[in-house]
Every structure is written in C-alpha cells, then in structure tokens.
Structure 1
Amino acid sequence: MESAVQEVRTSSPPSSGWRRKRTEPSLPEVYKSLPVPTKGSFIRKLLAFAGPGYLVAVGYMDPGNWATDLAGGALFNYTLLSVILISNLMAILLQSLTARLGIATGRDLAQACRDHYSKPVNFGLWFLCELAIAACDLAEVIGSAIALNLLFGIPLLYGVLITSLDVILVLLLQNKGFRYIEAIVISLIMTIFVCFGIEMFLSKPDVGGILGGFVPSAEIVKNPEMLYIALGILGATVMPHNLYLHSSIVQTRKYEETSLGKRSAIKFATIDSTVALMLALFVNAAILILSAAAFHSTGHTEVAEIQDAYQLLNPLLGSSIAGVLFAVALLASGQNSTLTGTLAGQIVMEGFLNIRLKPWLRRLITRLIAIIPAVLVIGIYGEKGTGDLLILSQVILSLQLSFAVIPLVMFTADKKKMGEFVAPKWLSSLSWIVAIIIAGLNAYLLYGTIAG
C-alpha cells in the first residue's frame, strides 16, 4: 500500500484538464489495500469489487427517507412507488459516474473540485458539503435515538447521547481493515432487508396495486400535496455525500493502472453499485408499501411520524413482532449510516482542504454538530420536535445536492480530464438532464418548505 501511495505523491504533472496536479490519494490508510485478481472467473472478479456499492446504498435507506416514504404510502396508497423507482434509477446513473471519475482520474470528487476550481469556490463547496454531512448525521442520530426509545424505552435525549459512542466502533473497524467495515455494513443491510421482507408478508399488500404504483401517474403532478411529497422522496433519495464517498472507496481496490485494468474496474464497480442500489430500492419501496397496506387501507392516512407507525403496526397487522421488526430495521439503518458518514466526512475534509485529522477527532466534530441541535430541540419541544428536525435535515441535503451533481457531470463529460474513459455522449446527455431535473425539483421543494 505504501508503494501505491508513493506513486501518487510522485505522479507526473497534470494534463491540461486539471489546474493542479494529483497529490495524496484518497483515504491513504486503505488506498489500494484490497487485491483484485487479474485472472479468474467473472464471479471471482465481481466478488473482489463487491463492497463499496453497499456502503453507498446505505445513504439511500437512511432514517431521513423513512418519514417521506411513510407519509407517501399512508396518504396516497401505492401511487408514489413510481417516484421511488425513478429516484433510484437517477441514483444508479450518478453513482456509476462517481465510480468512473474515481477510477479514471485517481481523484475522488472532492479532490477533483480542489484541483479544478479556485480556492474561494472550493472553500464554498467544502462548506456546503460539510453542512450536508452534518444534516445527514443529524438524521442518523435522531433515527437511532428513536429506535432505542421504541425498543428499550430509553428517553430520546439519552438515546442521542448514546449514539455518539459509535465513534469507538468506527475506529475499531478502521484499524482491522476496510473489508471489516464492508462486512458489517452488508450485515446490517441484510438485517433491514429481512425485517422488511417479513413486514411485507405480514401486511399482505395488494400485488396489483403495487405493480400499478410503479407506473408513473399524471395525478402526481396535478395534486399539489402529492407532488410535494413526491419531491420530498426525490430530495431524500439521492444523497450528496454518497457521490464523494463512492468516488473514493472504489480506489480501495488494487486494480491494474492500465487501460484494460481501469476499464474492467469501472465495469465491476458499476455492477456492484447497481446491485446494491436495487436492494435500497426494495427497502424504500417496502416502507411505502407497508405504510399503504397497514395505514392507508385502514383509514390511518395521517401517519407520518416514525413513532406513530411503530405504535400502530402491531394492532393493524395482528402480530406482536411487527413493531419490533420495524424498530430493529430503523436501528440498523441509523447505525449503518453512521459508518458511511464517518468515511464521507474524512474524504470531504481531506479532499477539499488537504487537511488530515485523526479519524476520532473528525468524527467527534461531526457528531457534536449533529448532537447539539438534536439535544436542544428534544429538550425544548420534546418528542414531537424530532419530526421537524428530520424534515429540516432533508431540506439541507436537497440544497447541497446540485453543488455535488453538477461538478460530477461536468468532470466526467470532459475528455481532457477523463481521457479515454470520458462518459459517452448519451450518458453525459442523460446525466445533464438528471442534474437539471434534480436542481429544479429541489429548488421547488425548498420554496414549498419555506412558504409552507
């Protein structure tokens, strides 16, 4: 690994596509630490690349998504499943671009911004990204605290403080190697997957209604309330910090630094993230389907809070384990997002500013930024204030998203920067359409939140 890091430090001067030369690798402690077989079967190579996509998928099923999915199902039955599907397809497209950027240029998205933009612009992008990571961390803190409260009766205030101790787990895993982080993340994703698989069985949803819900409906645009929740689902699905994260962690694989080696790495990294994001699609769709089957069909259309859903699931589904499974999945979701949030924070600070802090110190700073507002709101407004805080975190994420998506699309479409790995014209055109749609919808969501 040291030789790989040294190779980056002594890299040749930049091409005309970059203002600054490539220096330190992203996440130097795990950079190219996992070997990739040069020979062997397709499956063997795919397994070697499997992992980063699942860390990315975590952000698409974090506690911040739950409130919008619950509200969408309770109010409008299965209609908004099409929005979840479209959001997921957008996510698959954007994450494939991040893998392409990281492998082709040897830079994560934060480093690419640092090497392209002026210092004032770069600093502004860094600040917005830090704000988004803090907002995402806030959702994780609240989600985990709510889960601890539902499962063990721990008061929310104490639950928030307990979640701050996860920095110890992160440090232990980082010391053991990157595969350990991937293993625990995949285990927690499988926990969420199994919990919602059982919930789907218990809720006995209408299969015909589900299939119809995946077909886009004109009613979504015509109904202002439905449109607003649809925009909330879109805004909560594509996470800006995931774009920085993915472009970095694909570089943990020791693929060959040749044209063939990089092309193969891009292919397998894209397959990995696509499969993982399909699992995220199942989870998000399952939350909405569960809400539609349990709440909409029984007239409980006002359910939007996670705590309300937990209290109603057992009597409505006629099973004593329905609420427990829901809370276990929420806890797994919150803790999973914590691990990836730690890495994203490190990548962003090191990438934009080239400042390297001890992982425990970086995590402590991010945690305090999230914990302080959570403690204040819970102390002043009690349990009901957490819902508003979750919504606020999603609005902040929506604000920052375009500042990550547009540079990504711009860099990957630039042949001077990407060389032979530049995104094909059809892919770049589609990416620009997605970037414009995201920017427009998130602006509308922000306006509606402020006005409303």
Structure 2
Amino acid sequence: MEFYDVFSGRFPKLHSMKNAHQHRSLDDVHESITVHQGKSKLKRLLSFFGPAYLISVGYMDPGNWATDLAGGSQFGYALLWVLLMSNLMALLLQSLCTRLGIVRGKDLAQCNREIYPKRMNFVLYILAELAIAACDLAEVLGMAIGLNLLFGIDILWGVLISFVDTFLLLYLQRLGMRKLELLIVGLITLIGICFFVEMFFARPQLDEVMQGFIPSLPNHAALYIAIGIIGATVMPHNLYLHSALVQTRKIERSTSAIRRAIKYNFLDSAIALQLAFFVNAAILILAASVFHKNGMHNVAELQDAYRLLGSTLGTDWAPKLFAVALILAGQSSTITGTLAGQIVMEGYLQLRISPFLRRLLTRLLAIVPAIVVIVLFGDKEVGQMLIFSQVLLSMQLAFAVIPLIHFVSDRAKMGEFAIGSYTRFFSWLIAAVIAVLNFQLVFSEVGRWLSQVEHVLLRVLIVGSALGLLLLLLMTFVYPWVLRRRAVRSDVHTSFEVLEFKAASSFRTILLALDFSRSDEKVISQVLQHSPSACKLVLIHVVESASVKYTGGTTEDLEAREDRRRLEQYATFLRDKNYVVTCALRYNDRINAIRICCEQYHADLLIVGSHGHTGFKDVIFGETVNKLRHAGKIPVLIAQ
C-alpha cells in the first residue's frame, strides 16, 4: 500500500511532497539551531560552536591510547611532533568537511552518491560501515577495560554493560542537538581534568617536552609507531559526520553569511582539536615521564599502564584517574559513531531507520566480535582486537579523504568557495601521506596474516581483497576527473522533467479500520470530508478476544457480540449523514483481515487511526500501522 503521512487531521499530502526534504542530513535536527543575529560577535561565535566537539572525541577515543602509550614508553618525548603534525592534518581535513557541508548543503556520503557509480557506492558504504563498527569496537573495549581496571568487573561483563548506553543515547538524542553537544563538552572537560591532574603527579620536564616538537625519528621502529599515531588520529567517520553536523545551524544563503559560517566553524574546529591534541599529548607525555624514564620501554597495553602508574608515581589516584578518563573517552566516542552510521546509511542508501535500531545494529556489530573473541581466547586477545580495529579504520580513511578533496576543489559546484591552489596542494599531499602510511600499515598486517595462514584459498582471498582495495582506491581517485567534462549524475531524486502529474480519480470505496478507541474520532472525521454521493464506506473491526485466539476462527462470545453492536452504532451515525455503509466484522490476524477486506470490497483508500505513540510504545503498539503500509497496493491514510 502506498503510504500517505497526514498531520493535524488534514487530507493527505502528496507522497512526492513528503519526500521533498528527505535528502537532508540528520533531517530531524537539520537547521534546528538558529544562529545569533545580534551585534554581539561572541554570541554569534558561540552559536556556531559545538559540532567540532562531537568530532574531537573521535580523536581521543581508546583506539588512540595504545599508540600514544607505545610512542611515549619507547621513545620518550621524541614523537610529540608527530602528534602535532597529525593534528594539523586533521584540522585541514575537518575544515574541508565544514566547507562542503555549509556550501553544498550536503554531507560527504550524499556527494559520493551523486558522482560515483551505484556498485562502487555500495562498496564505499560497506567500508564506511566497517570503519564505524571498528571504531565502536575500540570504544566498547576501552570502556570494558576501564570498568575492569576501576571496579574489577570482568571484561566480558564490561562489554555487555556497554550495551546499556544504547538506551541512554536514544534518550539523549531526543533532547536536541544543543544539549547533546553540551554533554560532550562536559565529558571532554572531565577527561582533560583527569590528565591535568596526571601531569601534576608525573611532573614532566618542560624543556624535554619542548624538544619533542623538533622532528626526528630515532629508528625504524619509531617510524612504525609514527605511522600508527597518524593512522589512529584521523578518523574516517568524522569526515562524514562533520559535513552533516554543520548543517544543524540555520544560516542565510548569502555570500557573506556563508563565508562567516566557514570562518566560525574553522575556529570551532581549531579549538576542539587542540583539546584532543592535549589529551593525546598528555598520554604520550605521561608514558614518557613515568615509563620511559624508569626503563619501561614496552608499555603499550592499557592494563599495563594502569598497573604501573600506581607503583611508579606512588599514589592510587593516578591509575584511578586513568581508568575514569578511559571510561569517559569510550562513552563520549560512542555517541558520534551512531550519528555517523545514520549519515552514511541515509547518504549512500537513502535508507532511514529509527535511531534505536541504528544504535542497536552498530553496537551489536561491535559487541558480537568482542564477545566471541573473549569467550574463545580470553582477555589476552583484547589488545589485538584494539589493533585490528585501528587497521580497519586505516583501510577506510583514504576512501573518505580523496572524494572530499575532489568535491571541495570543484569550482562548478562550490563556486567562489572552492579551495585555492595552495590549500589544494597541501590537501592532496596529506591525502598521499595518509594513503601511503595507512596502506603500509594495512599491508604489513596482511603480510602477518599470510604468514599465519596455511590454507591456499584463504591466502588467495586475503591477497585478492588487498588488490581489490587498491583498485577501488585508484577508481576513487580517477573517476571524478573522468566525469569533469560532462554533467554529473544526480540520482538523489527522480528528474522533475520525467514526472507525470495527473488529476487523481475520486475514491469510490473507502475502508475504515476501527478499534473502538478515541482514534476512531480522527478516522470518522477524515471520511466526513468526502461527499456521500461520491463514495461508499466499509467499516471493519477485527475481534481478537481470548476465544478467537484459542479457536483461530469466528466466535459469538460476549466481546464479539459487543463489537458487532458498536460497529452498527458507527454505521447508523454515518447512514444518518446519507452515506452508504457496509459493516465487516472479522476475526484474528488484524493485518491479513484488513488486507483481504480491501481486496473483497475493491477499496480505493484505507483510513486507519494513529495513537500518537513514540519511543518504545511505537515499537510495541504501532505494529498494525507499520505493517499495513506494505500489505497492499492502495493508499493508506493515517489520521492523526
């Protein structure tokens, strides 16, 4: 059945009109925050602040901590410059995302859908989903490890406890984007306070810290750690997310307003990413001043760092604050993963599902592998799972960066807001560095896997997958230039020119589904808008008493007799208004009974009432309406 969504008890709007805005990113919060228009520049600046803080948590999630600990414990402060460089790279890429979202009014996934072939887009979508699942895996494990360190909760139970935040996030999203941003700022502040106190305990030498910003690589092992730091810093899902989050601000579409929005969002990104840099640098400095100086050069596991902090610094507060920060980092990062999942699904597939189901799927993709590995191999493989999650993130990164640079460089689409030659040069340089370093990390892991696999078919599958990724990367890079001289395909909606608009024929037979609740008032009110001479009515009610459920057929119990009497009362009311009315009392299986009745009476329109349920009530009580939408081939009017 074709579904017509109706509001305020009015006649249904055209289906094409309902879909007119479904292409907007995060449609429920799109342009939901009004930018301050007064004279105060500070208030205007603050009204733009927020999206980058949701992005910044991805740069300090538990997946980054292992590389920071390894770099600090092995090489002291020597790799601080790598952290700074990767942070500057991230700032440039995130600024390109904000530019794309503000100017084009589309997120990265939607732009990819416009330009790349459908099959290629599907592969890019799968890679994006894998990256989000990998990031969520790191967050789940980080939170589970933090709970284990702080409270002694088993890792497996910690993973299961992290599932509870699915419901917490569902509630937070209902409060609005601004409150969600404030919550993230609060969590980041608490993480920063934890590490500020850690620095007070560690007391690093400032002059030695400053020397770490001078570029140097002590040996080849330092290069490998540097690759890991860069690979773990820039998160691919953040590129999709940021291009959508900036569209939550409602701005004028004038040149000056767009230019001002780009500037303020750059400031937002610069401040937020510097906070993320402080957290990552604090972890590395902590590892350098506590572990490296005391001859502990192989501390890369979060559990080892927790145990050694207390014994080295001589205070129980140091490991406890470390564990608290780990839990906060995992919890804050999980919010952005869900939003990114919603964006890539809607952008690539134009498929919208409920936030609850989206969060459930994302969390299950992270929890199920974690539980399987922990059950089969125990807690000792948790560290390897963290590394594996970072490898998956590295695989996806280049596939997000390269299209992004293509889009913001396209003067035909971006107009005067296309990036200049210098920015374009440094952007492609960063893309090349990221692609080379991350694929070096990926292929080193592939080599390790091949050395451990003896089965020929499995080795062929691993090598074939690696070569397929290289080919896909090449296509991602070349394809936009191939299309540069011809019109870009846009299949977000069917072309307006091919649409045929015809006057709809009047409804001859209207089926009214009644449940004898207050929603029947809305159903009857809708049909009263139709002329009695133009249509006939069929009133249907489905009896679902205990005896009907038991026998599976008709019954003449008290409930059935009362339902028949009530149905006749509705019919009498409508007959008094000159309508031709037929009553149809049916038994058991609401959906099938209504569908068969539509076919039996050749109904042109089905009207059902909405109870206005939301949240979990909609899942429990709204099943009839949801299933009726797809049960037949006639329009369905939901009276609200």
Separation of aligned partners in 1, 2:24 and 2:358: 18
The alpha-carbon deviation at position 443 of structure 1 amounts to: 1.2
1:132 equivalent in structure 2: 131
1:416 equivalent in structure 2: 412
Residue 347 of structure 2, aligned match among 334, 351, 360? 351
Does 1:241 find its partner at 2:260? no
Separation of aligned partners in 2, 1:338 and 1:447: 28
Separation of aligned partners in 2, 1:449 and 1:196: 32
1:251 equivalent in structure 2: 247
SS in 1 for 2:200: helix
The alpha-carbon deviation at position 303 of structure 1 amounts to: 1.0
Does 1:439 find its partner at 2:435? yes
1:430 equivalent in structure 2: 426
Separation of aligned partners in 2, 1:230 and 1:451: 19
The alpha-carbon deviation at position 23 of structure 1 amounts to: 5.8
SS in 1 for 2:277: helix
**Mapped contact 1:100–1:412 kept (Cα < 8 A):** yes
**Mapped contact 2:217–2:223 kept (Cα < 8 A):** no
Does 1:200 find its partner at 2:199? yes
Please tell me the residue identity of whatever aligns with 2:340: A
Percent of pairs with identical residues: 56
Please tell me the residue identity of whatever aligns with 1:110: A
Please tell me the residue identity of whatever aligns with 1:146: I
Separation of aligned partners in 2, 1:364 and 1:370: 10
Separation of aligned partners in 2, 1:121 and 1:262: 32
**Mapped contact 2:79–2:217 kept (Cα < 8 A):** no
1:210-225 aligned within 5 A: 210-219=209-218, 223-225=219-221
Please tell me the residue identity of whatever aligns with 1:335: Q
Residue 272 of structure 1, aligned match among 262, 268, 271? 268
SS in 1 for 2:378: helix
**Mapped contact 1:96–1:273 kept (Cα < 8 A):** yes
**Mapped contact 1:50–1:269 kept (Cα < 8 A):** yes
1:404 equivalent in structure 2: 400
1:384-399 aligned within 5 A: 384-399=380-395
**Mapped contact 1:22–1:107 kept (Cα < 8 A):** no
More helix by share: 1
The 3 A distance-change label for structure 1 pair 303 and 60 is same
2:110 equivalent in structure 1: 111
More strand by share: 2
Does 1:151 find its partner at 2:150? yes
The alpha-carbon deviation at position 22 of structure 1 amounts to: 8.8
The alpha-carbon deviation at position 116 of structure 1 amounts to: 1.5
SS in 2 for 1:341: helix
Separation of aligned partners in 1, 2:339 and 2:443: 31
The alpha-carbon deviation at position 423 of structure 1 amounts to: 1.0
Separation of aligned partners in 2, 1:405 and 1:40: 37
SS in 2 for 1:280: helix
Residue 313 of structure 1, aligned match among 296, 309, 313? 309
Separation of aligned partners in 2, 1:53 and 1:273: 5
The alpha-carbon deviation at position 450 of structure 1 amounts to: 3.0
Please tell me the residue identity of whatever aligns with 1:135: A
The alpha-carbon deviation at position 345 of structure 1 amounts to: 0.6
Deviation per residue, 1:3-32 (Å, 9 max, x gap):
xxx9xx98xxxxxxxxxx996210010000
Does 1:260 find its partner at 2:226? no
Separation of aligned partners in 1, 2:74 and 2:352: 47
1:15 equivalent in structure 2: none
Separation of aligned partners in 2, 1:23 and 1:412: 23
Separation of aligned partners in 2, 1:135 and 1:73: 24
Separation of aligned partners in 2, 1:109 and 1:226: 34
Separation of aligned partners in 2, 1:89 and 1:448: 26
Please tell me the residue identity of whatever aligns with 1:391: I
The alpha-carbon deviation at position 63 of structure 1 amounts to: 0.3
Deviation per residue, 1:361-386 (Å, 9 max, x gap):
01111111111110011112222110
The alpha-carbon deviation at position 53 of structure 1 amounts to: 0.6
1:300 equivalent in structure 2: 296
TM-score, structure 1 length as denominator?
0.94
The alpha-carbon deviation at position 425 of structure 1 amounts to: 1.5
The alpha-carbon deviation at position 262 of structure 1 amounts to: 1.1
Please tell me the residue identity of whatever aligns with 1:383: D
Separation of aligned partners in 1, 2:429 and 2:390: 22
**Root-mean-square deviation (CA), in Å?**
1.4
**Mapped contact 1:199–1:325 kept (Cα < 8 A):** yes
| Gapped regions of structure 1 (runs ≥ 5) | 1-5, 11-20
**Mapped contact 1:67–1:304 kept (Cα < 8 A):** yes
Deviation per residue, 1:270-319 (Å, 9 max, x gap):
11011100000100000000001110101111211000100110111111
The 3 A distance-change label for structure 1 pair 156 and 218 is closer
Deviation per residue, 1:145-190 (Å, 9 max, x gap):
0011111111100110110111111111111111111011110000
**Mapped contact 1:71–1:229 kept (Cα < 8 A):** yes
The size of the alignment, in residue pairs, is 432
Please tell me the residue identity of whatever aligns with 1:52: P
Separation of aligned partners in 2, 1:375 and 1:88: 33
Separation of aligned partners in 2, 1:224 and 1:375: 35
2:119 equivalent in structure 1: 120
Deviation per residue, 1:76-103 (Å, 9 max, x gap):
1111111101100000000000000000
Does 1:179 find its partner at 2:175? no
Deviation per residue, 1:26-72 (Å, 9 max, x gap):
00100000010223222111100110010000000000000010011
**Mapped contact 1:22–1:115 kept (Cα < 8 A):** no
Following TM superposition, where does structure 1 have runs of at least 4 consecutive aligned residues deviating by more than 3 angstroms? none
| Gapped regions of structure 2 (runs ≥ 5) | 1-12, 449-640
Q: Which has the larger radius of gyration?
A: 2
SS in 1 for 2:397: helix
For CA contacts below 8 A with separation 6 or more, give which structure has more relative contact order: 1
Separation of aligned partners in 2, 1:255 and 1:172: 28
Separation of aligned partners in 1, 2:220 and 2:288: 19
The alpha-carbon deviation at position 218 of structure 1 amounts to: 4.4
1:371 equivalent in structure 2: 367
Separation of aligned partners in 2, 1:22 and 1:409: 26
SS in 2 for 1:303: coil
